[in-house]
Structures are given as structure tokens and as C-alpha cells.
Amino acid sequence: MVNIGIVGIGLVGAELVAQLKATSNKHLKVVAMTTSKKMVLSDTSYAPLTYANAQDVLTHGQTAQLDAFAAYLAKSPEHAVIVDCTASDAVAKLYPSWLQSGVSVVTPNKKGFSGDLSLYRAIQASAANLGKGGKTPLAFHESTVGAGLPVLSTLADLVKTGDKVISIEGIFSGTLSYLFNNFSSLSSTTAARPFSEIVKVAKELGYTEPDPRDDLNGMDVARKVTICGRLAGLDLDLSTLEIQNIVPEPLQKVATAEEFMAQLPNFDGHFQKLNEEAKKENQVLRCVGLVDMKGGKSGVKLIKYPASHPFASLQGSDNIIKFTTEYFPNGLIIQGAGAGAAVTAYGIFSDLLKIQERVEGY
């Protein structure tokens, strides 16, 4: 049995609860749930909760206290896991203490694995040692990169089997994938549309952050690059990566998302010029994350690719990641849906199954 506590019952947290309830697996039990305001804990029998979403927790819960939440799970007679579905720096900083208490961690939260190197190392060290009560805590974060795609597990296997990773290159953002797949195409049947119009549609579809600059500035991709680079053996740091912010400089400083969206059409000519330059060379524009194991070139860049390249033919909002290694000199490619509550929850669920298998010994 694995007892689960979920921190953050938003879209992903609620979807995870739904997926767990839909399965016939009775060995994964949600016994605690918390929002930033309220939490619900099962009793001392650690029976499964019947609640499904944040409203249930807000209606039936007590005042949220993360220390009490974690302590409850640490006392579990069965293996316990905290699933952090937030994007909080403060919550990520608690991972080492949770792991040291014998509680495993599963999360799509990128902050703990891409932020300060000392925190990352503390998480890794805490997950490698026996916790209190002789429990061996585990830390899984597959869904921090590519949502439900097996990006990190594949990379970890490459490293563990002794393959030498040469480079990692990918379209890591579903938002940026959608924007440039629709804006920069060599298809004669695709009518050219202004960049601002495509951003507007993406925002209406819910593909972007409330402020699209949080996608366009490259930081989300940079965090994923950092996570991949660290797993491959580099001590990457966000502060030293080369990150190309594709938001025009005057728009980086406007106060609100509304102002940004209102002024973005004034810069359609800038983006159109970039696109036309690429088309003259029979190429397309793609916003790509890069990990160069030789050092010096890791970062986020807007790059031109020929029609023959796999990145050029990407559709919709898919992610695509290419590992170039000694065993795979022509590249090992992973492609598919890399964003959305359903696939992110799937990635979390798969990590929980890995923990169950470790705990139950099969």
C-alpha cells in the first residue's frame, strides 16, 4: 500500500484524483489533500478520502498547515508520498525535510529541480538515504519535463547504462510549439497570420500563461533545460544559461498583460521579418531548448530549421525532444502531447506506480 497526500488541488491535482479513482489499483490511496487555505486528513486508519476537488477540501477541511500535513503522512504505517501539484518555491524547499522523514515526493513542480543548486543537491542526497523509521524515500519528477512523456526516465536510463550524452535539443513548451507551428510554416496551404493574432488565439484557448510573456521570455523552457542538463551530469544554473527572450524589448517593460496584448500588433512586422528571412532559406522558426554536454551553448534560442528536420513538421502543441548520444548518434526522439492537466496527471500517476513497484518489490 502507498498512502498519498496531494498538495494543490487545482486542474492537475483534481485530474490526478479522478485518474486514481478510475483505476482498479487499490494500493494507491489518497489519504490527505490540501489547498493553500484548507486541508483534509483521513483518520488514524489512513482510509481513502472520498473528496475529489478543491471545493470539497474548502468545504470540509480544517485550516491548512503544511507541517501538520507532512507529519501526518510521516506517521503512516505504510509507505507515504506527497504529490506537490503547485508551482511554489516555498513548497519545493520542503522536499528535503519530507524525504528525511521517510516520505517520498512526486511532483510536476519544476522549482526544486531547476532552482538553486544547493536545494537540488539536498533533494538528491535526502532521496538517497534512509529516512526515519528505516523507510527509503524516493523523489520522482518525470512530469516536470514533457508532462506525461517519458523524457526524464529515458534520459536517466541512457546515463545509467553508460551511454554518453552529447546533446539534448527540443521544443519543450507546448505554448511555443503551438505559436511557431502556426506562425512559421512552409506549407503553401497555410495562410500567413500575424504573430499577435496567433498569440491571442493561444491565450483564448488557454495554452498560454495569463501573461503570455511568461511563455515568450523563455524561462519555462530554461527550467526544463536545467533539469535535463543536471540529470545528464551538468551543474547547470538558470543564472548562467543563454536565454533568448523573444518578447520585443519595449513590451518587456509594460505593466500588465492587457497592455502587452494591446501593443503586440505593433511588432508584427518584427516577427514577420524573421519569418520571411527563414522562408527565403526554405526554413522555419522554432523556439528550442539546448543542452550541450561540452559546455558553453546550453540555453533557449529561436532557431531556423530546414523542412527535412523533425522539428519543422511538428503539429499542434506537441513537444519533441532529441537525445544525441554515442549509442544514438543520429538521435533518439520522443514526441507527443507535452502539456495539459490530463497528460501531466498521467505522468504523476506513472511515477506513483514506480514507487508502488519499489515498495512492493515487483
Catalytic residue check, 224: yes
- Count Cβ neighbours within 10 Å for each residue of 191-209 and write b for 16 or more, e otherwise: eeebbbebbbebbeeebbe
Cα dist from 205 to 210, 314, 331, whole Å: 11, 19, 33
Mapping DSSP to helix (H, G, I), strand (E, B) and coil, where does residue 79 land? Answer: strand
Among residues 245, 229, 246, the alpha carbon closest in space to that of 237 is found at 229
Strand partners, 83: 6, 106
For residue 21, the number of C-alpha atoms closer than 13 Å in the C-beta half-sphere is 13
State the amino acid at position 21 in one-letter form.
Answer: K
52 DSSP 8-state letter: -
From the list 224, 280, 304, 354, the catalytic residue is 224
Cα dist from 322 to 25, 128, 328, whole Å: 34, 29, 10
Q: Residue 104 phi/psi, 5° resolution?
A: -75, 165
Instruction: Please identify every residue annotated as catalytic.
Output: 224
